[in-house]
Amino acid sequence: MLLTAALSFVLPYAFCIQAEAVVQAPRPNIIWIMADDMGFSDLGCYGGEIETPNLDQLAAGGLRYTQFYNSGRCCPTRASLLTGLYPHQAGIGHMTSESIDQSQDKGYKGYRGALSPASATVAEVLSVAGYRTYMSGKWHVGTFPEAWPLKRGFQRFSGLIRGASNYFRPAPDKLLMLETTPLKPDDDFYITDAFTEWAIEYIEDAEGFDDQPFFLYLAYTAPHWPLHALKQDVDKYRGKYLMGWDALRHSRLARMQSLGIVNPSWELSDRDCREWNSLPEDKRKEMDLRMALYAAQVDRMDQGIGRLLQSLRRMGELENTIIFFFADNGGCAEGGDLGAGPKRQLETKEGYYLSYGRGWANASNTPFRRFKHWVHEGGIASPLIVHWPAGISGQGELRHDPIHLIDLFPTAMELSGADYPVERDGYSIPSLEGISIHSTFSGDRLPNRSLYWEHEGNSAVRKGDLKLVARHGGDWELYNLEKDRTETQNLARKFPQLVVDLASDYEAWAKRVGVLPYPPRRRPGYFPPNRVYPDTWQDVERAERD
């Protein structure tokens, strides 16, 4: 991999503000921690009842952002995060391959199903700038070896190449790797704990490089389905959710209002599922268990983050380590109102597609509309916690600027003093789409700008406080997010010219980055090659014997 740096390069807006002062000081270690399929209101410090004392502690000693956005789904979010580009520019306008062939490569530039070679990753850029670069967790931006983390700038990696997996017994086709070796889990394996352990191993490895700061990307799969959790964690929550999702939404909303996370004038979005009290008692008990499992997954992730913080304290590195915590999309309603998967598999190590359902996802995304996949606020709004004792003086403060995960790459560049390349392996690289948020640490406001989304035909543009959004095949809806971030008062008929203007802005962006009206089936005449992986460890062992 060859990166060619620009002789002079200036990002739009405020990228270079205070860059000289940052570089002169000891450069911080940088940690990105990402949850998977976690809703906006799940954390204690964002109004949730789930026990997250370690993340709450980071929030109390740092900043919480109330208007941070992701890209609405796993792979597009990861592509944007790692490249600082919109997903289509990075080659992942839809998803990566989860089947035995490269079927998600549609043969179009924005839909190749793996990170584009014409994009630089944050790991590539920071490694050139002298950082140790580590990753633990879920990759999911390229299934095939040439697209794996160790080929995209990470010096050490352990985790999943593909997406969701059984937490106890990941199948071989998920490509669970320990560095460069496929890992067959032991009987006591639990994937959230494994990701934590590898992350701790990597930052301790960095102690051997005193002259180099480190960058760690810790991408948990929690609390993505399947609903797999450890009994001691589940027991803490059994019975707590018999109140139902209606009561849970209202109790969370009250806490969010008292914390200043949401504006008390915003209406709570409509319930997007059946009424809790309409369920028979046995189904309510089952749904209590499903939510208890989900809460236990979040709880266990927080416990792991606590262990990581303990290691940083022991190393004397917590003071000058900047930690960002966020989620890849909103709560997930896959599986319908009552979730997917048989009740008999709950609280076992079996199963795969076990989910908590639309009712609980609606509560996770309090107070917003819709879910993962959509680009209404429920699909794209995420907590963002930033903690950096050496660089942030305002402890426990809130920031209300609209922020997008495309902004985290340029922020890392400013903090590290890194240069952004103009070429990678002979390919010209697009300019970064985001801006540094470093100035917000001291309370400065970011300039007004437009932000964009598209996934599966769901489309949106936000310009200032105005947001134009449509679900696939639906009409444009217009909202004033300052007054109505829960998207309950559609202004499209009242202000038709604003709809026309914002739609024109969106279409220009979509054309520029390579959005197609809907993910294509396949370009005519384009047939990606088959890449076959085994489904079970028995298949691997049989092949080795043969």
Instruction: Please give the Cα distance from 171 to 47 (Å, whole number).
Output: 36
What CA–CA distance (Å, rounded) separates 222 from 226?
9
46 DSSP assignment: G
For residue 237, give Cα distances in angstroms to 295, 334, 381: 7, 22, 25
Which residues are the active-site residues?
A: 74, 140
Round to whole Å and give the CA distance between 112 and 173. 20
Cβ(108)–Cβ(514) below 8 Å: yes
Residue 482 token pair = 């300052």
Q: Are 358 and 225 in contact (CB under 8 A)?
A: no
Within 10 Å of residue 314's Cβ, how many Cβ atoms?
Answer: 11
One-letter amino acid of 385: I
How far apart, in whole angstroms, are the C-alpha atoms of residue 191 and residue 176? Answer: 10
Residues 6+ apart with CB under 8 A from 272: 333, 358, 362, 369, 370, 371
- How far apart CA 111 and CA 458 sit, in angstroms, is 16
Widest distance between CA atoms in the chain: 70
What gap in Å lies between CA 185 and CA 195, rounded to an integer?
A: 13
Q: Strands 381-387 and 3-5, how do they pair?
A: unpaired
- Cα separation values, 521 from 455, 459, 524, Å: 15, 19, 9
> CA 368 to CA 379: how far, in whole Å?
9
Side-chain half-sphere CA neighbours of 145 within 13 A: 7
**Best CA proximity match to 296, nearest among 219, 364, 360, 237:** 237
Closest to 194 measured CA to CA, from 160, 152, 243, 155? 160
Instruction: Indicate the Cα dihedral angle 398, 399, 400, 405, nearest 10°.
Output: -120
Distance CA(281)–CA(171), nearest Å, equals 35
Residues 6+ apart with CB under 8 A from 404: 68, 69, 70, 80, 434, 451
* C-beta atoms surrounding 281 within 10 Å: 8
The 10 Å Cβ neighbour count of residue 130 is: 14
Find the helix or strand (DSSP H, E) in which 84 lies: none
The pairing of strands 132-138 and 214-219 is parallel
Distance, in Å, from the CA atom of 217 to the CA atom of 212, rounded to the nearest integer, reads 16
The amino acid occupying position 238 is R
